[in-house]
Chain A
């Protein structure tokens, strides 16, 4: 199977590598910035183009991988579905829940597989937590605290820093944790959120959520794009018989360069594993296309995650809890 990648910076780079690792040939690289497309196309011996819509319609392509800014996802999903391609779409699924529904309908109509990359479901540390909880190691879980973020990301043309496009840290980053909470603990009941959302005086974002699940579990979720540098994930699950903690700063390695071009460097702890979680999600997607497995995450799950962040941002605007 051959893959066309749309959006070649940031996550696009990762997906090109992961698809290749899975034995797929990435043959078309589309990016508005032809320089970026050409650079990666050269690396993978593929073709560089600027028009993502044209990539969707190529007859020599089986899979379209979308790693563009969120507001463009629906357009590419629809074009790829109409052309009969299977679709790998980076999270967040779409910029609104109604767009997500439109995307699901398009894929259903075209009978193509639409996968959304909620990669945290594939992270080994998160899977380990889920396994321990399922094994009853902490009794009945009653509280969860998840924390994720660090440096405000740039993205091509700084689209992450445009709230209208990215939805800020709540929409783009915290969505991982809200999805994981629903994955492990079931449906949410109501959500309350405070977020900075790039107010005039702060050109960054910090989001704080209180979430009640239908099971009664309470969660506090923090997302930050307010830090001067770094990236950190912390998780804590408390139950009637114990608790679980994870902190990404406690990692097997940390590297620090003496000099870097862009200014001060910092040690970003890293945790090498046998198979990257990004590859695991591609393996799941490919297995689903080949009808050999059911994927861990569905487009419906991705829609629910978008509904949760939409509710969070509605709460942040109104100062009221929002029922889900």
Chain B
């Protein structure tokens, strides 16, 4: 039985991961810690577990692994505390806003000999897994270009506050696609150009809310990506993850969450899409639990998180300098 704790419910994904832990066999949501005591207590009550206000007590407890779902800027100090306490870690994406922080986290976990995973659940999405399989068979030839989107509704709050998030929509919504392309194509990113905007929410945010990226991967693969918080409040769902792969022998289009029924509910006065596809979060959390039990690295590693952060960090640099920026791989 793996004992898993959750650090912080600042990120809404914490609620989904907690529900997964409750649902999965062979693990338990053993304790919750949060620097926002009220939020932590409420969440602990909701998921019928204990709230531990003292961080040392939380980390001294019988926990085997910890899921960190705090604000992006707090990931590093929290991960370092967990690593020092010998806990396996699953860290919400982006692993950290800066390359230096992401590197420090990877190194701290390596030193402490604990597993570090990055919460990039798209690798557990059935349509994306199928796309990966089909492309890796080579039936579509060599992939020479791809155009991607990761749109969302505005999460607001700390997400739009640079001091806590380290960046806006482009920080939030580039890492999934960057990781998917690295995973599926088995290639690294080499450069990025980016235009950033803060113009979809009447400039209320202290961050960007849309980014248009042009990326290059090893072997000259041309990639475009749109990261945004552009979905209107009246839009029927939260957003999307889409990729169009252009291969020498064909084209593959994947709209990962386009498994829905249209619902027209007079009480809501807007059309809604009820999703009926698989739950990628469940695959992600199940993999983490197994990694904890088997004392191995989670499938999507801290290094994968670092690679994705290298892409976003370079994109912000490109937007600032209005130049294409090389993406350097660190260790």
Contact = CB atoms under 8 A, between A and B. Distances in A.
B222 A196 contact: yes
B54 interface: no
B202 interface: yes
A143 B214 contact: no
B197 A243 contact: no
A238 B149 CA distance: 14
Interface in A211-250: 211-212, 216-220, 222, 224, 226-228, 238-243
A143 B324 contact: no
Nearest to B208: A218
B216 A218 contact: no
Interface residues of A, number: 40
A196 B223 CA distance: 11
Contacts of B244: 222
B275 interface: no
A208 B210 contact: no
A210 B193 contact: yes
Given A228-B251, A243-B232, A320-B324, A142 B214 contact: no
Contacts of A241: 232
A102 interface: no
B39 interface: no
B193 A208 contact: no
Interface residues of B, number: 40
B228 A202 contact: no
A321 B248 CA distance: 27
B324 A239 contact: no
A304 interface: no
A218 B224 contact: no
A70 interface: no
A129 B296 CA distance: 53
A152 B135 CA distance: 22
Interface string B199-233: 11110000001111110100000111010101110
30 contacts: A138-B232, A142-B200, A142-B209, A143-B226, A143-B228, A145-B149, A145-B226, A192-B324, A194-B145, A194-B216, A194-B223, A196-B222, A201-B144, A201-B248, A208-B223, A209-B224, A210-B213, A217-B197, A217-B199, A218-B211, A218-B212, A226-B145, A228-B251, A238-B230, A238-B232, A240-B200, A240-B201, A320-B323, A320-B324, A321-B322
